[in-house]
């Protein structure tokens, strides 16, 4: 069994953090001669420290150490060369085994494939989501609020159940193939391929593109469009010169909220891909649960965290005040 016990300093850090947190509350109450309203955010702060900051520290610890707790960078070398362990063994066995030393590209190829699938998912969600958000935010459309509810209702269902439900539609004896056979056509292979995985990703992540854009569009003053048309702009020029630029924060927020979960997803490829496709989330999960290699799994997780931080940095520059997120 792989040793995943916490190092002594992790317990010390959690204890010190808890002590500092309690001391901060006592000091804040004494300085303000009572409880300030901002102090009610303290439980959330404690929650973030215990379940976000501390886990990130532990991931970094395992990423930069080996099974014995010694500092090493081999975990990141395993990402670049999936045959790193075998190559080290061959290197110690003499020149006759030098020909067996080859760089494995499974990990890098999986990341590239995941980024490509996430890019396709994001583009499709943007092409489908922007017109939907534009229609929902149109004040002349009385059914806009109804469409918002229709987008929200599927999100009340469990993510796993929504994905599994697609199996009854796409499998060989599913509803789509049964309907095709009823019309006299042959059944088609809809499951266990990249197209099925992409379809499941778009279905699950589309609302995360729609709602930030809808929020930005619903905040626009309708007088801006009227002023543009008074100055001679037609509907298309009004959209390209006024509506689209002002909705850019929502677009950037939607891209971020779709792209990052798409890269890290692992349940959708497993169910709809049937093991024929592997994304980076599946690779990380296999390192932790199948191989029991928490060190390499943590290194891969750190690489994903770096991508997330870069994505958040782009979002921060494009939408510094966070105007694009949320549901109005």
- Residue appearing with tokens 């002002």: 246
Structure confidence at residue 125 as a pLDDT band (50, 70, 90): very high
Residues in contact with 17: Cβ distance below 8 Å, sequence separation at least 6, in sequence order: 49, 50, 53, 54
Paired with 65 in beta bridges are: 71
Most confident among 22-26, 200-204, 224-228, 322-326 (mean pLDDT): 200-204
Q: What is the pLDDT of residue 197?
A: 93
Q: What is the mean pLDDT of residues 75-102?
A: 78
243 secondary structure, DSSP code: I
* E strand or H helix at 214: helix 194-218
User: Does residue 191 contact residue 300 with C-beta atoms inside 8 Å?
Assistant: no
Q: What is the mean pLDDT of residues 223-229?
A: 78
Tokens for 239? 């959209």
Helices (H) then strands (E): counts for the chain:
18, 0
**Taking the domains of the chain in order of start, what are their residue ranges?**
1-63, 106-318
Structure confidence at residue 113 as a pLDDT band (50, 70, 90): very high
Distance CA 237, CA 228 (A): 9
Lowest-pLDDT range of 27-36, 217-226, 286-295: 27-36
Distance CA 14, CA 5 (A): 15
Q: What is the mean pLDDT of residues 201-214?
A: 92
Q: Domain 106-318 - what CATH class?
A: mainly alpha
> What share of the chain has pLDDT > 90, as a percent?
17
Predicted confidence (pLDDT) per residue in 208-221, tens digit: 999 999 988 888 88
Distance CA 141, CA 217 (A): 14
- Torsions phi, psi of 186, nearest 5? -80, 150
Distance CA 135, CA 148 (A): 10
Distance CA 219, CA 310 (A): 27
Q: How far apart are the first and last CA of the chain?
A: 49
User: Does residue 274 contact residue 280 with C-beta atoms inside 8 Å?
Assistant: no
| Mean of all residue pLDDT scores within the chain | 81
Q: What is the mean pLDDT of residues 137-141?
A: 76
Distance CA 275, CA 171 (A): 15
């Amino acid at each position: 069994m792989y040793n995943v016990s916490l190092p002594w300093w992790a317990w010390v850090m959690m204890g010190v953090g808890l002590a500092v947190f309690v001391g901060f509350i006592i000091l804040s109450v004494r300085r303000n001669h009572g409880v300030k309203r901002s102090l009610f955010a303290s439980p959330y702060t404690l929650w973030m420290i215990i379940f976000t900051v501390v886990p990130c520290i532990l991931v970094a610890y395992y990423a930069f150490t080996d099974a014995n707790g010694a500092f090493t960078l081999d975990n990141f070398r395993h990402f670049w060369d999936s045959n790193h362990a075998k190559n080290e063994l061959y290197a110690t066995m003499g020149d006759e085994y030098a020909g067996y030393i080859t760089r494995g590209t499974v990990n890098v190829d999986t990341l590239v494939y995941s980024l490509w699938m996430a890019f396709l998912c994001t583009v499709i969600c943007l092409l489908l989501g922007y017109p939907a958000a534009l229609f929902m935010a149109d004040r002349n459309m009385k059914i806009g609020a109804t469409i918002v509810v229709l987008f929200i209702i599927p999100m009340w269902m469990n993510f796993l159940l929504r994905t599994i439900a697609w199996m009854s539609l796409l499998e060989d004896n599913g509803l789509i193939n049964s309907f095709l056979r009823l019309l006299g056509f042959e059944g088609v292979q809809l499951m266990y391929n990249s197209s099925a995985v992409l379809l499941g990703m778009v279905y699950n992540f589309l609302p995360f593109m729609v709602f930030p854009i809808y929020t930005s569009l619903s905040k626009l003053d309708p007088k801006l469009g009227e002023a543009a048309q008074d100055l001679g702009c037609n509907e298309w020029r009004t959209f390209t010169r006024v509506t689209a630029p002002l909705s850019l924060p929502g677009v950037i927020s939607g891209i971020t909220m779709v792209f990052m979960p798409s890269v890290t997803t692992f349940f959708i490829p497993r169910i709809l891909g049937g093991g024929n496709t592997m994304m980076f989330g599946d690779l990380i999960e296999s390192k932790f649960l199948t191989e029991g290699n928490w060190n390499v799994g943590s290194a891969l997780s750190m690489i994903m965290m770096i991508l997330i931080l870069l994505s958040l940095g782009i979002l921060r520059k494009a939408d510094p005040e966070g105007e694009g997120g949320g549901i109005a």
